[in-house]
Amino acid sequence: MFPRPAPRRRLAGAAVALGLIGSLSTSAWAGSRHPAPAHGHTRVTRVPSAAGTGTPLSGYSIQSTAKVSDSASDVSSPGYPAAGWYQAGPRSTVLAALLAEGVYADPFYSTNQQKIPKADFQVPWWYRSDFRVDDTSERTYLDFSGVISAADVYVNGHRVAEAADVSGAYTRHELDVTALVRAGTNTVAFRIRPNVPNKNLTMGWIDWLQPPPDENMGIVRDVLVRRGGPVALRDAHVTTRLDVPSLATADLTVKAQARNDSDAAVTAEVSGSIGATSFSRTVPLAAHETKTVTFTPADFPGLHLTKPRVWWPAGMGGQPLYDLDLTATVSGTRSDTAHETFGIRDVRAPLNSDGARQYRINGRKLLIKGGGWSPDEFLRWDRTYVADRLKYALDLGLNAIRLEGHIEPDEFFDLADRYGVLTLPGWECCDKWEGQVNGSGESGDPWTAADYPVAKASMAAEAARLRDHPSVISFLIGSDFAPDRTIEKNYLDALKAADWPTPVVSAASAKSSPQLGSSGMKMTGPYDWIPPNYWYAKREGGATGFNSETSAGPDIPTLDTLRRMMTPAELDTLWKNPGMKQYHRSPSSVFGTLKIYDAALAGRYGSPKGLTDYVRKAQLAQYENVRAQYEAYGRNATDSSKPSTGVIYWMFNSGWTSLHWQLMDRYLDQGGAYFGAKKANEPLHIQYSYDNRSVVVVDNRHAPAAGLTARATLFNPDGTQKYDKTVTGVTVKGDGAHADALTLPASVSGLSTTYLVRLTLTDSSGKEVSRNVYWLSAKADTLDWANTDWYYTPTTSYADLKGLASMAQAPVSATASTESANGTSTTTVTVRNTGKGKTPSLLTDVHLVDAKGKPVLPVRWSDNQVSLWPGESMTLTATYRTADLHGSVPRVRVSGWNTAERTVPAG
């Protein structure tokens, strides 16, 4: 993840063949759509006989080898009783299965996870599953990846692969088990070895969260039972070449491997289609011969497209997708099929004149604005939960997600394709993956000779799996460190063999590798609290170049969520004792407490008077800091000198109940960090610059804007107006350009030390299109740049925002109504500052709740945490699934910095 001086964060037998394409799928949530059978009884997967089918095993019975004395042959034979074994879903770590069975208390609450004995997971575990075939006339294969960390594999009492060969979370394996499969019930069993991220090329958690006691050992992708005839189709994919910048034509090339698995020569007919375009070839194959079958526009003119449907990131255009279907027949009988979905787009990422990586999509530059992705801590896959988070990314105006390791299953990238969210997958840092190149003090064992082929096979499998997804715009083959010459060559050879179509980046840090050269990225932090003005300096983590992971560290959740994740005693320490180690922050000694954050909160806003006061100050602080981060990068994106080209908020979300690195919490509740990001990334946006006091309009749309009116008004905390200026005729180009509308004066007569700035932007018709309110200080935060560490820059004196405490209470009324249709509800809320004086209601938060006051989540607001002056009103909408009300009548809870909490009906 990031550099630091101290730790942070060949298959055996003739029946075995190695493949290169995989599908990372993680375990199902407890109570998910995969119901478990009765305890100790293995579910049986019915496998169709038709050639060209691939059926995932529906689940497993699992047990520790410490409790199984029977032989591997017995365990892996049909009819074995598996009495007392636990049930697991089709993609499940050991601990995920035990949690689903109710063996342990909620590990997301308090320190419950500490009570789970690690010793139980330091021995291998058995995974066994039965499948049924009605006949054996077709060939049968086991096709799988996602084994953490390694496994011996058995079918019907026979070992078909050894752990030395089935090693690594990302390697893909195909076992031809035709000779062992019989009509009726068959059994496959995996003896899974424990995972040690510093010793195995799998997955680890570094310092993101308290690592799971089982270290995610298990099988976290589908195991497919594939049926086929003599000729198998593998490695099907489409390479696209789009004419840029015209986008008028595109050439498609289709490739696949045709493999004769029989003992006799055959002639296969390989035919395919993309939309209305069809193509076919006759392919003679000797016994056990494999040939690459290629279809090009030169031979099949229909693969030269005019007016192709081009895929764009969200906000830049549509997300059309194409389907490839292939069939292999032998003597007129279907032998195998293949299907791929792909998009047509062009991705380039050259280095600019400053050496920063600048992405271009279909010929257009774009500022990468994203967040670092975390899966569920126990690698449980829930499509709806993932879709909700990706929709949140769009709601926040983000365009990218970075996956440092933990590369999600195919469904994740299918959703990203559909929603237009760009993805930046890559290998993780600070464990075995970078053990050969780690710097001093980093964890991760040096590589042995056995690690190199596993790493290369991992790269080949992920390249083949991800290459057709238009959302995937790069692969980062290093994180904190770039690979050495040998590792890099292995990765690049695998990528080239897979026809990898997008830029390959040497590292997420400012490192270089021998062939690729400079990464064009920086990993300068910060990872802990810094003030908002930090982001405007074009140095360290400030808004210049491509910052691959950065934020001001802690992101304290809402009070609703805090009460779900911590005991009353723990909540007391949260606000009373800044030096106390916080279990829900990080296992790292650097990030174990909230000391830096709490000192800034008290120094700028005043010491907290209680838990509620601490949380409301945290939301204010997180709103201003996250907003400033994205606004600074947005403002500088089109600068002629040292422009910003990308920023990844560290992190987008957390895999558990966390106190840091998250724009939304584990339960998808939204606080200051969320709405600060949403405000900063508006399509057309007015903002304040902390470095030079300029008021700037940023146009994130493609089209330019003209005839705009910008207004800036300054107030004391009591609402007394001290400055007001309006500028008309503001024009701004599109594609992220900005225009300076005005500059606020360095001093204003009568303005208090703490003051408010209200910015508004109206279009030519007078409609307000952007509104932004800041709380600032005449005394600026002072940064100690000379003592910058790898994780933050110290602040020697704080801005004085304590004047906000003097703001009078501002009464806010609310009326709400709800409409529902087709499973979706929309609640419309009008909030109004009904005060008779001058005091605004600062950061007025509206929460949708049920009859018991519990937040209804997820929810997407048109706007939220708004500030209203007396007499002003604003109408907000909340969209959500009706089912998430659980039969309750919706209600709206309104609160704010200086607004008393009240709840009104919204039915």
Fill in the amino acid letter for 73: S
Q: Where are the alpha helices (DSSP H) in 136-264?
A: none
Euclidean distance between CA atoms 87 and 41, whole angstroms: 8
Angle CA 764–768–774, to nearest 5: 130
At 250 the three-state DSSP class reads: strand
> Rounded mean pLDDT of 394-415?
97
Q: Kindly state the percentage of the chain with pLDDT values over 70.
A: 95
Euclidean distance between CA atoms 398 and 403, whole angstroms: 15
**549 tagged catalytic:** yes
Considering only 16-30, 65-79, 208-222, 236-250, which range has the smallest mean pLDDT?
A: 16-30
Candidates 214, 462, 480, 598; catalytic one? 480
Using the predicted structure, report yes or no on whether residue 560 has a pLDDT greater than 80: yes
Mean pLDDT of the chain: 94
pLDDT at 540: 96
pLDDT at 31: 32
What are 816's strand-pairing partners? 829
Q: Sorting pLDDT into bands at 50, 70 and 90, what band is 17?
A: very low
Q: What is the DSSP string of 623-650?
A: HHHHHHHHHHHHHGGG-SSS-EEEEEES
CA nearest 229: which of 184, 183, 270, 272? 270
pLDDT at 76: 98
Euclidean distance between CA atoms 471 and 400, whole angstroms: 9
Write out pLDDT tens, residues 138-197. 999 999 999 999 999 999 999 999 999 999 999 999 999 999 999 999 999 999 999 999
Write out pLDDT tens, residues 347-395. 999 999 999 999 999 999 999 999 999 999 999 999 999 999 999 999 9
> Rounded mean pLDDT of 123-149?
97
pLDDT at 783: 98
CA nearest 632: which of 537, 707, 539? 537
Euclidean distance between CA atoms 824 and 881, whole angstroms: 5
pLDDT at 29: 42
At 756 the three-state DSSP class reads: strand
Write out pLDDT tens, residues 652-678. 999 999 999 999 999 999 999 999 999
Q: From residue 689, give the alpha-carbon distance in Å to each of 158, 352, 419, 532, 681.
A: 68, 25, 32, 10, 15
**What's the burial of 742, exposed, middle or buried (CB within 10 Å: 0-12/13-18/19+)?**
middle
Euclidean distance between CA atoms 835 and 871, whole angstroms: 7
Euclidean distance between CA atoms 684 and 705, whole angstroms: 9
pLDDT at 388: 98
Q: From residue 90, give the alpha-carbon distance in Å to each of 124, 144, 293.
A: 18, 12, 33
Euclidean distance between CA atoms 523 and 549, whole angstroms: 6
Q: Please report, for the chain, how many H helices and E strands are present, in that order.
A: 11, 54
Q: Sorting pLDDT into bands at 50, 70 and 90, what band is 845?
A: very high
Contact 868, 844 (CB under 8 A): yes
User: Do β-strands 782-783 and 737-743 pair in parallel, antiparallel, or remain unpaired?
Assistant: unpaired
Q: What is the CA radius of gyration of the chain?
A: 29
pLDDT at 645: 98
CA nearest 244: which of 336, 98, 344? 344
Euclidean distance between CA atoms 97 and 28, whole angstroms: 9
Q: Sorting pLDDT into bands at 50, 70 and 90, what band is 12?
A: very low
pLDDT at 42: 62
Euclidean distance between CA atoms 796 and 376, whole angstroms: 38
Euclidean distance between CA atoms 471 and 448, whole angstroms: 34
pLDDT at 687: 98
CA 597 to chain CA centroid, nearest Å: 25
Euclidean distance between CA atoms 386 and 379, whole angstroms: 12
Give the 3-state DSSP-derived string for 670-709, with helices as H, strands as E and coil as C: CCHHHHHHHHHCCCEEEEECCCCCEEEEEECCCCCEEEEE
CA nearest 818: which of 809, 806, 827? 827
Helix-helix angle 672-680:611-635, to 10 degrees: 20
Using the predicted structure, report yes or no on whether residue 14 has a pLDDT greater than 90: no
> Rounded mean pLDDT of 871-878?
97
- What secondary structure letter does DSSP report for 554? B
User: Do β-strands 27-28 and 184-192 pair in parallel, antiparallel, or remain unpaired?
Assistant: unpaired
**What's the burial of 244, exposed, middle or buried (CB within 10 Å: 0-12/13-18/19+)?**
middle
Write out pLDDT tens, residues 619-637. 999 999 999 999 999 999 9
What are 28's strand-pairing partners? 381
Q: From residue 453, give the alpha-carbon distance in Å to each of 164, 456, 796.
A: 11, 5, 50
User: In sequence order, what are the residues at sequence separation of 6 or more whose Cβ sits closer than 8 angstroms to the Cβ of residue 367?
Assistant: 633, 634, 637, 644, 645, 646, 647, 736
pLDDT at 443: 85
Q: Sorting pLDDT into bands at 50, 70 and 90, what band is 33?
A: very low
Candidates 207, 346, 434, 549; catalytic one? 549
Q: From residue 175, give the alpha-carbon distance in Å to each of 54, 166, 383, 480.
A: 13, 11, 28, 36
pLDDT at 439: 80
Using the predicted structure, report yes or no on whether residue 27 has a pLDDT greater than 80: no
Fill in the amino acid letter for 886: H
User: In sequence order, what are the residues at sequence separation of 6 or more whose Cβ sits closer than 8 angstroms to the Cβ of residue 41?
Assistant: 61, 82
Write out pLDDT tens, residues 713-770. 999 999 999 999 999 999 999 999 999 999 999 999 999 999 999 999 999 999 999 9
pLDDT at 442: 76
**431 tagged catalytic:** no
Q: What is the DSSP string of 17-80?
A: EE--------EEPTTSSS---STT---EEE---STT-EEE---EEEEEGGG--S-HHHHTSTT-
> Rounded mean pLDDT of 100-122?
97
Write out pLDDT tens, residues 429-454. 999 999 999 887 778 999 999 999 99
Helix-helix angle 383-395:410-419, to 10 degrees: 30
Which helix (H) or strand (E) segment is 461 a member of?
Answer: helix 451-466
Euclidean distance between CA atoms 429 and 337, whole angstroms: 38
Euclidean distance between CA atoms 256 and 295, whole angstroms: 9
Euclidean distance between CA atoms 835 and 874, whole angstroms: 15
Write out pLDDT tens, residues 41-74. 567 999 999 999 999 999 999 999 999 999 999 9
Euclidean distance between CA atoms 542 and 431, whole angstroms: 28
Using the predicted structure, report yes or no on whether residue 846 has a pLDDT greater than 90: yes
Contact 107, 100 (CB under 8 A): no
pLDDT at 907: 87
pLDDT at 860: 98
At 600 the three-state DSSP class reads: helix
pLDDT at 562: 98
User: In sequence order, what are the residues at sequence separation of 6 or more whose Cβ sits closer than 8 angstroms to the Cβ of residue 878?
Assistant: 826, 827, 829, 846, 848, 859, 860, 861, 862
Burial 116-154 (b: 16+ CB within 10 A, else e): beeebbeebbbbbbbbebeebebbbbbbbbbbbbbbbbb
What are 772's strand-pairing partners? 759
Euclidean distance between CA atoms 409 and 215, whole angstroms: 19
Fill in the amino acid letter for 391: K
Contact 831, 876 (CB under 8 A): yes
User: In sequence order, what are the residues at sequence separation of 6 or more whose Cβ sits closer than 8 angstroms to the Cβ of residue 132?
Assistant: 44, 45, 46, 47, 184, 185, 186
pLDDT at 438: 86
At 524 the three-state DSSP class reads: coil
User: In sequence order, what are the residues at sequence separation of 6 or more whose Cβ sits closer than 8 angstroms to the Cβ of residue 462?
Assistant: 22, 170, 407, 425, 475
pLDDT at 25: 29
Contact 213, 118 (CB under 8 A): yes
Euclidean distance between CA atoms 500 and 361, whole angstroms: 16
